[in-house]
Amino acid sequence: MAASTRSCCCSVPGCSTSGRRQPYLSFHAFPKDETLRKSWVRLIRRDEGPSFSILRGSTFICSLHFNKESIYVLESGRKRLKANTIPTRFPWNNWGDDQPRRWSVFDRNITICNSRSEQRERAFWNSNKKQ
């Protein structure tokens, strides 16, 4: 079931998504079925204990960790998981490696600066050719 609160965060280690910063994502609570819940905990590489416990209404996994085929949309617009769905998309199983990575701000600035300096240089040489 998708969470309706905006303040939820993903419980997958290394995932920094939150409902406030990514309102277009859906956040799904852990299942009530004990065996399915244990498989979710094992798949996200967490252990229930003092540092991690599953609490109703505050422990979620974001929609990035589920296949698109596993999620359906209700008429109201809410996203739900199909029955017996498990999360499968994680950084440690190379999910997302085939997607183009966004350049860092540093790399984008270097590219912009280089292209501007190249434009200035071309303009300089073109202006000198005309004289």
Domain ranges of the chain: 1-98, 100-131
- Rounded Cα–Cα distance for residues 70 and 33 (Å): 17
8-state DSSP, 96: T
Compare 117 and 57 and report the one with higher pLDDT.
57
- Rounded Cα–Cα distance for residues 8 and 16 (Å): 11
114-127: average pLDDT: 65
The pTM (predicted TM-score) of the whole model is 0.67
Percent of the chain exceeding pLDDT 90 equals: 40
pLDDT digits (tens, 9 = 90+) for 10-41: 999 988 888 888 888 999 999 999 999 999 99
Conformation bin of residue 45: beta by default, left when phi > 0, alpha when psi is -120 to 50: left
CA atoms within a 13 Å half-sphere pointing along the CA-CB vector of 50: 0
Output the pLDDT for position 1. 52
Output the pLDDT for position 29. 93
Which helix (H) or strand (E) element contains residue 79? strand 79-81
Which of 43, 88, 63 has its CA nearest to residue 2?
Answer: 63
